[in-house]
Chains A and B, each alone.
Chain A
Amino acid sequence: MLKFSRIPVLIFSVAILLFPSIAQLVPAISHYTDILVFAGLYCLITIGLSLLMGYAGQISLGHAAFFGLGAYFSAVLTTRYGWNPWMVMVAGTLFTSIIAGAVGWPALKLKGHYLAMATLAFGIIVVIIFNEEIEITGGPDGLTRIPGLKIMGFAFNTVERYYYLVWVLVLAIFLFTANLIQSSIGRALRALHSSESAAMAMGVDAAKYKLLVFIYSAALASLAGSLYAHYLKFINPSTFNIFFGIKLLIMIALGGMHFLWGSIIGAIIISFLSYEWLQYFEELEILVYGGILLVFTVFAPGGLAAIPHMILEKVRTRK
């Protein structure tokens, strides 16, 4: 499971980096690049969530709030105060990390359902604040005219350029996280997930590790939020509600939480469902998501990424 072979990653990286060029040549799928930008942003969140849920075994239903905090931090400070977007992005990620630490510290002492509800409650409170503090956040109407990103004159003002910005970042974070999993920290997380008592007896500070992973995943979500704000150039509170928070959960359940690349598959598939395939069937959207979540929970709890393994197991036991 943890034999991390670089070859599939290499193939995927090449494919993902070549995609925009191919898409530009085929009119029917040329808008897929835009969809994949969103998918990439969601990947940043799901990579962190996957680490939290699949390896540290903790559940968070409120990560949409961290996504939102990053987005609003960037939007507010760049539109109302004219600060440099990059600095704001870094500051916002730090700020969200601190909030995550403050919330996570007491919340992660809770188990199972308690933690799920606590994170859900936190997520709802954050969105209420976005809606109510109109002076700062623009209320339900949100904020517009958010500036784009540029470095020394080079502006990320086309879909393709933003695509590369996002996906290079995704691949870098993916590698970083994969390294984490392979390291002693990853081992400690898996140990915690398997037997918290034994792990603690072997010197693993359970509280510290759970908090670390929680903060890491929140930071990634915040970063994704900032990038989202500068791409769309418009945000409003309804984007960051519990519906989205649970959609993130679905991405992970679909892709598979025990393999890191499952988080990428899940994010991509759900993005296409949202923006492409179910576009005209809004009434069905919720049903489809619920259905996917249920089917995978009951029949394939390991998600799509675990299916090759499940097949191998079946073949092995049949022999």
Chain B
Amino acid sequence: MGKESPDTILTIENLVMAFGGLMALYKPDIRVKRGSITAIIGPNGAGKTTLFNIITGFLKPDEGSVQFNGNSIKGLKPHEISKMGISRTFQTVELFDNMTVLENVMLGFHTKEIKSFILSGLRTSRLRNHENEIRKKSEELLKFIGLHQKWGEMANNLPLGEQKILEIGRALASSPTLLCLDEPAAGLNETESYRASSLINAIREKGTTILLVEHDMKVIMNISDQIVVLNYGQKIACGTPEEIQRNVQVIEAYLGDEGNYVKD
């Protein structure tokens, strides 16, 4: 509602999604500010991953609009959304286990590759040069995320913490303007979580907007600019970490009797 501010990179309005008799999402209006880190939290089943799947094209909502940079992306297929500049990771790590760490990242550059069937088959020098460039960029990206040493390892041989970092790296390859991270800290210990949040901050420094779903409160409260709280598919609160910590409804629905959460 109202004029779209150029500051807003993603607008979700009047979204309704039902599965059979179950209402998964009911009009959780959300505005994501460009260059910010926005977190979506809520108890299990609140609709967080459904929301992600709608934004990234894996689901089509029954009603409502999803606007990215002023363009509607509702109903687009995942690969089309990727081309528009939105990239994502998955709740259960979806690395390509038949490829090495480096190859996983190289795949991330797919939208920038030469995809001509004939030229690929003939392996022209232009193609080979382009491939070398992609390889170099991939290696740089691996350095950025700290996995450069393990470039030749099979992706599924990495410990979970590094797999999650790799998945983020792969998602960065396409130089997305919006990065959607689905539970980047799930299953990670303290050190690994810290590494993940540092990486996320570093990504934000470079100007990428980040939208994340997460359960780990420490990570959320530390890095988020804005938090949106969902419960039973509806938005029950939205604000800064301090505001959310003090919000009675949120505390009741989600944080339990914890009361004030101590920020580090």
Would A and B touch once assembled, by the CB under 8 A criterion? yes
A residues touching B (Cβ–Cβ < 8 Å)?
A: 176-177, 179-180, 182-188, 190-191, 193-195, 197-206, 212, 216
Contacts of A212 in B (CB 8 A): 117
Whether B98 pairs with A202 at a CB distance below 8 angstroms is no
Complex CA gap A202/B120 in Å reads 20
CB distance from A14 to the nearest CB of B (A): 21
Whether A195 pairs with B94 at a CB distance below 8 angstroms is yes
Tell me, yes or no, whether B127 is within 8 Å of chain A by CB: yes
Closest B residue, CB atoms, query A193: B98
CB distance from B231 to the nearest CB of A (A): 27
Complex CA gap A177/B77 in Å reads 29
With A188-B110, A200-B77, A204-B79 known as contacts, the answer to whether A183 contacts B127 (CB < 8 A) is: yes
Bitwise, B168-180 to A at CB < 8 A (1) or not (0) is 0011011000000
Set B77, B103, B108: member contacting A202, Cβ < 8 A = B108
11 of the cross-chain contacts (CB-CB < 8 Å) are A183-B121, A183-B123, A183-B127, A184-B134, A197-B94, A200-B78, A201-B56, A202-B173, A203-B79, A204-B110, A205-B77
Whether A180 pairs with B98 at a CB distance below 8 angstroms is no
Complex CA gap A179/B124 in Å reads 10
Whether A184 pairs with B56 at a CB distance below 8 angstroms is no
Bitwise, B47-74 to A at CB < 8 A (1) or not (0) is 0000000001110000000000000000
Give the size of the chain B interface in residues (CB under 8 angstroms). Answer: 38
Closest A residue, CB atoms, query B108: A202
B residues touching A (Cβ–Cβ < 8 Å)?
A: 56-58, 77-79, 82-83, 87-88, 90, 94-99, 103, 106-108, 110-111, 113-115, 117, 120-123, 127, 131, 134, 170-171, 173-174
Set B82, B107, B120, B134: member contacting A179, Cβ < 8 A = B120
For the complex of A and B, 10 pairs with smallest distance between CB atoms = A203-B82, A183-B120, A184-B113, A198-B94, A203-B111, A200-B78, A176-B121, A179-B123, A194-B96, A195-B94
Set B99, B122, B127: member contacting A194, Cβ < 8 A = B99
CB distance from B139 to the nearest CB of A (A): 16
Complex CA gap A194/B95 in Å reads 8
With A179-B120, A180-B120, A198-B95 known as contacts, the answer to whether A203 contacts B131 (CB < 8 A) is: no
Whether A199 pairs with B107 at a CB distance below 8 angstroms is yes
Whether B87 pairs with A184 at a CB distance below 8 angstroms is no
Whether A184 pairs with B79 at a CB distance below 8 angstroms is no
Interface centre among A177, A180, A193, A194 (most CB of B within 10 A): A194
Complex CA gap A266/B205 in Å reads 54
Whether A191 pairs with B96 at a CB distance below 8 angstroms is yes
CB distance from A21 to the nearest CB of B (A): 30
Closest B residue, CB atoms, query A187: B107
Set B78, B99, B117: member contacting A190, Cβ < 8 A = B99
With A180-B117, A184-B114, A188-B107 known as contacts, the answer to whether A201 contacts B123 (CB < 8 A) is: no
CB distance from B50 to the nearest CB of A (A): 15
- A sample of 9 more A-B contacts (CB under 8 A), given A184-B134, A195-B97, A203-B79, is A184-B113, A186-B120, A195-B96, A198-B95, A202-B87, A202-B108, A202-B110, A203-B111, A204-B107
Set B58, B83, B106, B120: member contacting A203, Cβ < 8 A = B83
Whether A184 pairs with B122 at a CB distance below 8 angstroms is no
Complex CA gap A184/B119 in Å reads 11
CB distance from B172 to the nearest CB of A (A): 11
Contacts of A200 in B (CB 8 A): 57, 77-79, 82
CB distance from A3 to the nearest CB of B (A): 11
CB distance from A168 to the nearest CB of B (A): 16
Contacts of A176 in B (CB 8 A): 121-122
CB distance from B80 to the nearest CB of A (A): 8
Complex CA gap A305/B41 in Å reads 49
Whether B87 pairs with A187 at a CB distance below 8 angstroms is no
Interface centre among B87, B97, B99 (most CB of A within 10 A): B99
Whether A191 pairs with B99 at a CB distance below 8 angstroms is yes
Complex CA gap A195/B127 in Å reads 26
Contacts of A206 in B (CB 8 A): 79
Whether A201 pairs with B78 at a CB distance below 8 angstroms is yes
Contacts of A195 in B (CB 8 A): 94-97
